[in-house]
Chain A
Amino acid sequence: MTIGLVHYLVLSTILFTLGLYGVFTRRNAVALLLAVELIMLAVALNFTAGAQFWGKPGGLIFAIFIIAVAAAEAAVGLALVIAIYRNQKDVDLDRLTMLRW
């Protein structure tokens, strides 16, 4: 028995759904952004495994793009969290109701 593509795909599915569970259940904005980062991590692993087992380097390029997008998302997301905290003194998502009435 060897470690094949299926092992990596199942592992990245587990990590992806764990991150999804975090996005569903977290009520704190910082914690929710961290769960989104876990999803991005799982997708990067998925692309890498596919690229390496099928011998197509394009998947590696897209894994690099996903890591870049994850970094950009973290920077803007956490800046937004800090701006919200400055206005509301709170980053509880249940109490962020300024855009609805």
Chain B
Amino acid sequence: MATIIGFYLLALLAIGAGILLVSSRNLLHALLGLAVASLAVAGLMLGLRAEFLALVLVLIYVGAVVVLGVFAVMLTGHFEKAVLPPSNELKILGGGTALALLVLITGVILIQPLAPDAVPAQVPIQKLGALLMTDYVLPFELVSVLLLAALVGAIVIARGKED
């Protein structure tokens, strides 16, 4: 019973924070929405017994992405200035497309009988590490190259010309 109530509370929190994220005209409120949505999803991952992923999510999303976002808001002068609202045409077209996709995917999920053959159980972190070094070693190395490229690229792009 407690898990059901917890799931619905966290789900409502995530959806509410997501609505704040996509609709707020103040970018700091949108950033707060991202932080709260990340924390709610981390809580849901705890409910799924994926403790390591929940910790990684809090570390990267709340610790890194939101802080980067605050810097971007600060450096582009949006602390006081509110962003422009979308035009009504854009709201109707974008909202309609997103809603149609939501109905389509939800319909497919509900029609298709999904028979999970396992209850969520904690995967030992040793097993995750072993998988990263055996079966998934190629994507792991590719991600390391991607992160290096992103690191160098972000510095070069943001630094600008030297005077």
Contacts and interface: CB of A to CB of B under 8 A. Distances in A.
B143 A69 contact: yes
Nearest to B31: A34
A26 to B, nearest CB: 7
B21 A72 contact: no
Nearest to A57: B123
A82 B50 contact: no
Contact of A24 (B31, B71, B97, B132): B97
Query: How large, as a class, is the contact surface on chain A?
Result: 35 or more
Chain B at the A interface: SS class: helix
B14 A15 contact: yes
Interface of B: 3-4, 7, 11, 14-15, 18-19, 21-22, 27, 30-31, 34, 37-38, 41, 44-45, 47-50, 52-53, 56-57, 60-61, 64-65, 68-69, 71-73, 75-78, 83-84, 86, 90-91, 93-95, 97-99, 101-102, 105-106, 109-110, 114, 116-121, 123, 127-128, 131-132, 135-136, 139, 143, 146-147, 149-151, 153-155, 157-158, 160
22 contacts: A2-B3, A7-B11, A10-B109, A13-B105, A22-B21, A27-B84, A30-B72, A41-B61, A52-B120, A53-B116, A53-B120, A54-B116, A61-B132, A61-B139, A71-B60, A74-B65, A78-B72, A80-B157, A81-B76, A82-B72, A82-B75, A83-B157
